[in-house]
Amino acid sequence: MPGSNLTRVEAEERKAIVLAPIHYAVALDLTVSARTFTSTTTITFGAQAGASTFLDLIADNVSEITLNGESLDPSSVFVDNRIQLTGLKEHNEVTVKADCVYSNTGEGLHRSVDPSDGNIYLYSQFEVPDARRVYAVFDQPDLKATFDFSVLAAQSWIVTSNMPVANVTEVENVTTAEGVLGDHAPETAKRWVFETTPVMSSYLTAICAGPYAEWHTEYLNEDGRTIQMAQYCRQALAEAFAKDVDYLFDITKKGFAFYAKTWGVPYPYAKYDQIYVPEYNAGAMENIGMVTIRDQYVFESKVTDALAERRVVTVLHELAHMWFGDYVTMKWWNDLWLNESFAEFTSTLATAEATEWHDAWATFCSGEKSWALRQDQLSTTHPIVAPINDLNDTYVNFDGITYAKGASVLKQLAFYVGREKFFKGINAYLNKHAYSNATLADLLHELEITSGRDLKAWSAQWLEQSGINTITTEVSTAADGTIEKLTLRQSAPAEHPVLRAHRLAVGFYNEDPATGKIVRTDRFELDVDGAETVVAEAAGKARPALILVNDDDLTYTKLRFDAASLEFALANLQRFDDALARAIIWLALWDMTRDGELAAEKFVDVTLRLLATETESTTFRYALACMSTAAWHYTAPAARASVIEHVAAELWKLASAAPAGSDQQFQLITAYLGYGEEGDEAFAANARGLLDGSVTLEGLEIDNNFTWTLMNALASVNVYGDAEIDAQLAKRDTTENREFALGARAVRGNAEAKAWAWDQALHNDELTNMQLEAVARGFAATPRADLAAPYAAKYFDVVDWVWKNKTFHMAEALLEGLYPAYADPAELVRLGEAWLAEHKDADNALLRIICSEIESSQRTLKVRDFNAAL
């Protein structure tokens, strides 16, 4: 399929024609208008003489194209986002001048206006392949090149790129056009010229420009070089960010040292910037030498410890990419998982071993792994090494399989071959393929050499097959309480019938009489393979209170306890001393609940007991979220109202008893505010009282973000409306508060608000990506079936229009955000299955998005009926 959706076949064909060395000289003029910028690109490259190929470019207008000295007619050769190049020579030079468009969707070169001070901020986001929205390019990862960037911009701005600045000169005869600086007066311009990059992929190039606040330090690299480091953010966030800059520099330096020591390869690039940018679609992006990070990670208001830890993991994740993904890059997007899984695995390892967040693996289990288990049980699951036929396939592969399942599997691989041998293989891989492209086969080859293990069978089971196994514990006990036989039975779903080899541990847990805590008293590490494995070491040992298979979370599997262990876990989960053990057990209980094997009310009760004592913030966060799903969606309809009332009352009670100012207090009261229902006078009084100060929880600060949490809660139950929301926004009109206000308007609990939100999300093209997400999230968040019901049919009616008329990210945000999950699941399933029957030939990426939503409703229906039958 031609155009913006490049296929793998096309990429392979172009790779065979376009030859190294490839060099780009890219000149951007950011002074011309508030809508467009001028892009001039000169590319030199080798080719097979006489061959033809194409450049990628998404532009408003192409004014000039010159190939080997010959002027080409843009109207003839620029078609469907491609520039056709024919009659190539052995050595070629092509120059393209175009007018490209700023985005407000976080794709290409995003332009953000900060309403608090009128400042304009630009940043690029080029993954998957959106460098073509900024300059003409062979936009695929295996056509690596060197790049020279120069940027003309307002003299008061800062401009950054992948490399250090070579020089900056004032250009007195150029003044920014009206509107380029928003409401600020036009200025004269400067030209920033950057040093030539090393060989790199186009999706890793980057440009940021604007009046960013800046901080600088340096790091003495392990190879003796001094690495210049910088951090940037919007001026409006500078005061808040200044409090964290030294900490974040320190975390980054710890990452430099940890990775260099672990992999034996010092940081390879000239500098390292981290720039916190507004309205960012992802968590962050590993642009070489200049990482972009969402500026929700600049904390003006109190945040959960879970989010504070996630910021650390994100910083270390992107730093890991400088080696794994940037220094050595995948050939095609089917190995995207290797970039992301490795960065996720090693950033968690670094967080646990090099920072104060020592329970990072518990965080990983509760957060990332639960994401993987959820996606791996959909019909849209895929192998970790997924077949990627085109770019649309790639877009939807930034998922729990690519990140979390892959990271879990790499963690197991490190145990399987041994940590020292594993990282010795990584060292060989990085050195052998430095500044080039590689494949999974290249990595496994190095690991086989260092470990002496044949990894082909391991790869076939774990990386090339879909689905997840279940390991069930069976135990027979003698009359004296000793174990006669401990058996682990492995099963697989019928649609993915592969039994895998697991390296795992079995832990025995009992009460410590001195403390009353449940602690591990014994542990066995073993290989589990096939349908049945006997744990020989357990025979003759005293039966413990709980047998925990996959202790220390070494493998990736679903767990089912023996009956006695299950009963003990349900009664005593909150007493377990180890955060990772609690996370593993809790995740297994949640998996049983969503599979319709454990009563939703039992899960709610065990979670409430856990929340009274849990200290690991991410486990706490996910426990609250999953309890909400169980209460609102999985409980028997006849019992739901009483369960919701009970949960709300317990959350308020727990929040009131939590330590003053603690993370637990903050999470509990925030969760409580999601259980409001219209007409609940006590809820309204509590929420309004917290806002006006007549109700207090000691240590709870009613800061900006929490004020909007309260506004949201009051709007959802129709206590507050547009007037109150507008008045609150008028107090402090910022980028973030505009998003909060839009979300509050959308969450209002009435039909008029839902109609407004539906229309705004679909048809207001002035909304930024983050504003659209806020509207969609508010639209779908009100837990009332009567408000959601009218949109069940409307949703499936607009799917095709959304897919046709929106960019991928905006389409994904709409199709996931507007799904009316609180409508009758039976009706959603009926409508969804009818849509699927009529769209068998739809794009695979679209089918995956829609199937995921429909199957969520199918699961809700199944589990609700299970609970109703109890």
Catalytic residues: 318
Using DSSP bridges, classify how beta strands 290-294 and 271-277 pair: parallel, antiparallel or unpaired: parallel
Give the Cα separation of 672 and 658 in Å (integer): 13
Strand segments (E) across 223-353: 226-233, 271-277, 284-285, 290-294, 328-330
**Element holding 502 (H helix, E strand):** strand 502-511
**Distance set, CA 416 to CA 311, 487, 835 (Å):** 30, 21, 45
- Tokens representing 804 are 């046709």
Q: How crowded is the C-beta side of 789, counted as CA atoms within 13 Å?
A: 7
Helix (H, G, I), strand (E, B) or coil at 138: coil
Say if CB 98 and CB 82 are below 8 A apart.
Answer: no
Q: Which residue has the tokens 């990775």?
A: 259
Would you say the C-alpha torsion 443, 447, 449, 455 has a positive or negative sign? negative
Q: How far apart (Å, rounded) are the C-alpha atoms in residues 587 and 762?
A: 36
3-class DSSP state of 61: strand
* CA distance to 85, 86, 578, 753, per residue, from 51 (Å): 9, 6, 63, 58
Who contacts 170 (Cβ-Cβ below 8 Å, separation ≥6)?
155, 188, 189, 190
Contacts 24+ apart (CB under 8 A), 735-738: 735/112, 735/114, 735/115, 735/116, 735/234, 735/236, 735/278, 735/279, 735/770, 736/296, 736/300, 736/704, 736/705, 737/704, 737/708, 738/115, 738/771
Buried-state track 101-124, b at ≥16 Cβ within 10 A, e below 16: bbbbbbbbbbbbbbebeebbbbbb
User: How many angstroms separate the CA atoms of 803 and 793, rounded?
Assistant: 17
Question: 65: helix, coil or strand?
Answer: strand
d(CA 164, CA 227): 11
Q: What are phi and psi of 328, to 5 degrees?
A: -120, 125
Tokens of 769: 């990506």
Helix (H) or strand (E) holding 671: helix 663-672
On whether the CB atoms of residues 573 and 606 are closer than 8 A, the answer is yes
Among 285, 281, 279, residue whose Cα is nearest residue 205: 285
**Residue 475 pairs with which residues in a beta bridge?**
486
Beta strand 188-194 with 165-175: parallel, antiparallel or unpaired? antiparallel
The dihedral through the CA atoms of 563, 564, 567, 573 has a sign that is: negative
Phi-psi region of 596 (alpha: psi -120 to 50; beta: other; left: phi over 0): left
CA distance 449 to 747: 57
Element holding 743 (H helix, E strand): helix 735-747
Please count the helices (runs of H) and the strands (runs of E) in the chain.
Answer: 30, 29
Surface-to-core class of residue 481, CB atoms within 10 Å of its CB (0-12 exposed, 13-18 middle, 19+ buried)? exposed
Cis peptide before 2 (omega within 30 of 0): no
Element (H, E) at 476: strand 470-477
Q: How far is CA 261 from the centre of its chain?
A: 27
CB atoms near residue 641 (< 10 Å): 11
